Chain A
Amino acid sequence: MLNIKNLHVKLEDEDKQILKGVDLTVPAGEVHAIMGPNGSGKSTLSYVLSGRDGYEVTEGEASLYDHDLLDMEPEERAAAGLFLAFQYPVEIPGVGNLTFLRTAVNAQRKARGEEELSSGEFLKVVREKAKALQIDAEMLKRPVNVGFSGGEKKRNEILQMAMLEPKMCILDETDSGLDVDAMRLVAEGVNALRSPERSFLVITHYQRLLNHIKPDVVHIMSNGRIIKTGGPELALEVEKNGYGDLLAEVG
């Protein structure tokens, strides 16, 4: 369960407040969506939760189960079960995708005091999961995200998620840049991972993805705050009317 209370965040080097009191709870097993205009702070929220440098938390708290996230290193948060599918996945030249995945999986296992996966086991699992996402052997060998198309990068994020089996998955615009078929693959990938112990926070601009991944709750974020929370119908409303009315409601 993810619990965010009154989270205020500013940029470290600039006097710019981005999150202005975010309150959000995602119980175990639920899927929540966040929608909101460009620049409202959705990616910032996901970065701050995963521990990226450059932000300063001025107020509030965030926890994942009994872990106080804001006190932890990024890798500790990952080992505790937090996963962020990046809006802009990072390229790492020269590092094979498989090597990267394996290093990540074993780093987390090690941090949790579990046995490392043997390369045989690892390869078996990875091939299976890659196949479901239609990621071929060639892409597994290539350097991480280098020269991947936009859609390939996003599918690769989902592969990482499937391998790491996190408890809390944050998907930052994983649907943008996907063609119709890729969207279905990604949604199937996500749905396959849905379980009573696992929660999702899906950041998206479009209702389309939510047709495939049915959210329990939809939040609207604007100007650093959650301004409205509702059921799946809220996403439909945004799709139809835009944010105008909602923004007007809160002034």
Chain B
Amino acid sequence: MAVEISDEIEVREGVDRETVETVQNMGSYKYGWDTEIEMEYAPKGVNEDIVRLISAKNEEPEWMTEWRLQAFRRWQTMTEPKWAMLNYPEIDYQDQYYYARPKSMEVKPKSLDEVDPKLLATYEKLGIPLKEQMLLAGVEGADETPAEARKVAVDAVFDSVSVGTTFKDELAKAGVIFCSISEAIREHPELVKKYLGSVVPQSDNFFATLNSAVFSDGSFVYIPPGTRCPMELSTYFRINAENTGQFERTLIIADKGSYVSYLEGCTAPKRDVAQLHAAVVEIVILEDAEVKYSTVQNWFPGDEEGKGGIYNFVTKRADCREARAKVMWTQVETGSAITWKYPSCILRGEESQGEFYSIAIANNMQQADTGTKMIHLGKNTRSRIVSKGISAGKAQNTYRGLVSMHPKATNSRNYTQCDSLLIGDQCGAHTVPYIEVKNTSSRVEHEATTSKVDDDQLFYCRARGMDEEEAVALVVNGFCREVLQALPMEFAMEAQSLVAISLEGSVG
């Protein structure tokens, strides 16, 4: 499968064989390499000139520049939200670079055949055929799926810039548009104008507004009516440059009766200075369309003392705008020093459905405040939340979720299951559910559990030969199974190894 990708990928300079090998040889945070590339930076700090410069660098039309400036002016009147259960030093927004791109991007792209953008593909290293792994992992339907037939199209975003998209032609044949957002702004302005900011308005929140002003790149997806996207789409984000904030913007539109599964992977080098990441993802889903959005977030979490790491403030929202629209968010959050993230579903269309599956692991000094919002606006809408929080070391892990049933959302249902697992006795798990029901025919169910890793289970594993870390990883993977199963197979395998990696050093 990796071969298939590497045959067709078009990537520009900056990602190469060496990085692939470096990754494979890394220690506990195995994505911590730093690629040496000559970078072009805009001056530090943010002001109207910087906003104009970013817009100019992306060769944007005037309306887009104006849109950004409007957001920037708004942002200057806003203050950073403080309600989350997060503790971090004051962020100096003027001490960041808001634009960085590899110098080589100015020249013509060249094709590198050795690159596998799924650097994360741990299964390859294990040397087992994918299908067998799926069987072993008990993946539903593994017997029926011909593993060789699966393809994934990838868009790689390196610091601020999209460096290449694979399978473009094949996608174009199906009428699917998958490109960087800067390209979409130039090539498909009618779609961008219509939908950008329609799910997450410019003024939505402090971080989203900042993103609206300074976003540098990101991915754009449009699936035409009645189309089932012929392959999985994936964006791979990497922050490489130092002191650089990454502000990517993703816009996905699933037109009537269409379907797409979208994967997002994130890594960053080890730095002892914290780095800011404030992304916005907007998804528009029309009648009878369905979108699956899966994230494996593995930004650098900082070291054991809490030095460095990514501050991740992300706004992700899906709007089930019409009847029977469906969205499923699945996230595996193992990285970042600070996570502030609530992928949400607006269930506007009648009988629309939203699902949220989450694994959040916080180890050492990591802090995660994450959850979802299910806003039921339409009749007969359904939502389901399954959250698995794992805390180890001195980490704090908070689930924060809102379920809101509006007066017109009659006969709607929500089911929430929220489980926390503690490893050791210095960490914390918190559950903060907000529930609002404004009609009498809707039902909301909430179940929550908190438990410690079971000593008998660990002993049983160890008596069979696994060391303590392996035993913990296995038990934790079991705890997360429901969510892992919601992931596409490739990601599920990767996520399992990530769980193990991110819990290293959490026992003993």
Q: Does B467 contact A (CB under 8 A)?
A: yes
What separation, in Å, do the CA atoms of A50 and B462 have in the docked complex? 9
Mask for A157-193, Cβ within 8 A of B = 1, else 0?
0001000100000000000000000000000000000
Question: Contacts of B455 on A, CB cut-off 8 Å?
Answer: 53
Interchain CB contact under 8 A, B477 and A74: no
What separation, in Å, do the CA atoms of A239 and B443 have in the docked complex? 60
Interchain CB contact under 8 A, A94 and B480: yes
A111: nearest residue on chain B (CB-CB)? B465
**Of A50, A89, A90, A92, which contacts B474 at CB under 8 A?**
A92
What separation, in Å, do the CA atoms of A96 and B133 have in the docked complex? 12
What separation, in Å, do the CA atoms of A100 and B132 have in the docked complex? 15
Interchain CB contact under 8 A, B460 and A86: yes
Interchain CB contact under 8 A, A50 and B463: yes
Stretch of B134-142, B170-178, B329-337 at the chain-chain interface: B134-142
**Of B463, B478, B480, which contacts A143 at CB under 8 A?**
B478
Interchain CB contact under 8 A, A96 and B465: no
Interchain CB contact under 8 A, A93 and B479: yes
Interchain CB contact under 8 A, B465 and A78: yes
Interface of B, secondary structure class, is helix
What separation, in Å, do the CA atoms of A96 and B39 have in the docked complex? 47
What separation, in Å, do the CA atoms of A78 and B481 have in the docked complex? 27
Q: Does B456 contact A (CB under 8 A)?
A: yes
Interchain CB contact under 8 A, A92 and B466: no
Q: Does A67 contact B (CB under 8 A)?
A: no
Question: Contacts of B479 on A, CB cut-off 8 Å?
Answer: 93-94
Q: Does B94 contact A (CB under 8 A)?
A: no
Question: Contacts of B477 on A, CB cut-off 8 Å?
Answer: 94-95
Interchain CB contact under 8 A, B478 and A108: no
Question: Contacts of A100 on B, CB cut-off 8 Å?
Answer: 461, 464, 474
Interchain CB contact under 8 A, A98 and B462: no
Q: Does B129 contact A (CB under 8 A)?
A: yes
Question: Contacts of B468 on A, CB cut-off 8 Å?
Answer: 73, 75
Interchain CB contact under 8 A, B465 and A90: no
Q: Does A42 contact B (CB under 8 A)?
A: no
Q: Does B482 contact A (CB under 8 A)?
A: yes
Minimal beta-carbon separation of A164 from chain B (angstroms):
7
What separation, in Å, do the CA atoms of A93 and B461 have in the docked complex? 13
Interchain CB contact under 8 A, B457 and A90: yes
**Given A73-B462, A118-B128, A164-B465, residue A96 in contact with residue B136 (CB < 8 A):** yes
Interchain CB contact under 8 A, B462 and A74: yes
Question: Contacts of A104 on B, CB cut-off 8 Å?
Answer: 461, 464-466
**What is the number of residues of chain A that contact chain B, defined by CB distance less than 8 Å?**
39
Q: Does A141 contact B (CB under 8 A)?
A: yes
Interchain CB contact under 8 A, B128 and A98: no
What separation, in Å, do the CA atoms of A103 and B478 have in the docked complex? 13
Q: Does B41 contact A (CB under 8 A)?
A: no
What separation, in Å, do the CA atoms of A107 and B478 have in the docked complex? 18
**Of B133, B456, B459, which contacts A74 at CB under 8 A?**
B459
What separation, in Å, do the CA atoms of A95 and B461 have in the docked complex? 11
Interchain CB contact under 8 A, B481 and A107: no
Q: Does B183 contact A (CB under 8 A)?
A: no
Minimal beta-carbon separation of A95 from chain B (angstroms):
4
Question: Contacts of A108 on B, CB cut-off 8 Å?
Answer: 464-465
**Given A73-B462, A94-B480, A99-B137, residue A120 in contact with residue B132 (CB < 8 A):** yes
What separation, in Å, do the CA atoms of A84 and B478 have in the docked complex? 23
Chain A CB count within 10 A is highest, among B129, B466, B468, B475, for B466
A79: nearest residue on chain B (CB-CB)? B465
Q: Does B470 contact A (CB under 8 A)?
A: yes
Interchain CB contact under 8 A, B463 and A123: no
What separation, in Å, do the CA atoms of A248 and B381 have in the docked complex? 74
Interchain CB contact under 8 A, B462 and A75: yes
Q: Does A102 contact B (CB under 8 A)?
A: yes
**Given A94-B480, A107-B470, A118-B128, residue A99 in contact with residue B138 (CB < 8 A):** yes
Question: Contacts of A86 on B, CB cut-off 8 Å?
Answer: 460, 463
A84: nearest residue on chain B (CB-CB)? B463
Q: Does A241 contact B (CB under 8 A)?
A: no
Question: Contacts of B456 on A, CB cut-off 8 Å?
Answer: 90
Q: Does A52 contact B (CB under 8 A)?
A: yes
What separation, in Å, do the CA atoms of A73 and B479 have in the docked complex? 25
Question: Contacts of A118 on B, CB cut-off 8 Å?
Answer: 127-128
Interchain CB contact under 8 A, A96 and B138: yes
What separation, in Å, do the CA atoms of A104 and B466 have in the docked complex? 6
Minimal beta-carbon separation of B127 from chain A (angstroms):
8
B485: nearest residue on chain A (CB-CB)? A94
Chain B CB count within 10 A is highest, among A75, A91, A98, for A75
Interchain CB contact under 8 A, B463 and A119: no
Q: Does A215 contact B (CB under 8 A)?
A: no
What separation, in Å, do the CA atoms of A123 and B134 have in the docked complex? 12
Minimal beta-carbon separation of A35 from chain B (angstroms):
23
Minimal beta-carbon separation of A21 from chain B (angstroms):
25
Within 8 A of B (CB), among A50-77: 50-53, 73-75, 77
Minimal beta-carbon separation of A34 from chain B (angstroms):
19
**Given A107-B466, A164-B464, residue A53 in contact with residue B459 (CB < 8 A):** yes
B482: nearest residue on chain A (CB-CB)? A94
Question: Contacts of B461 on A, CB cut-off 8 Å?
Answer: 92, 100, 103-104
Chain A positions within 8 Å of B, measured between CB atoms, are 50-53, 73-75, 77-79, 83-84, 86, 89-96, 98-100, 102-105, 107-108, 111, 118-120, 123, 141, 143, 160, 164
Q: A92-B478, A104-B465 are in contact. List 13 more A-B contacts (CB 8 A).
A: A53-B459, A74-B463, A75-B466, A78-B463, A92-B457, A92-B475, A93-B479, A94-B480, A95-B478, A99-B137, A103-B466, A119-B133, A141-B138
A/B interface sample: 11 pairs, CB < 8 A: A52-B459, A73-B462, A74-B459, A75-B465, A90-B457, A92-B478, A93-B481, A94-B482, A96-B138, A107-B466, A118-B128
Chain B positions within 8 Å of A, measured between CB atoms, are 127-129, 132-133, 135-138, 455-457, 459-468, 470, 474-475, 477-482
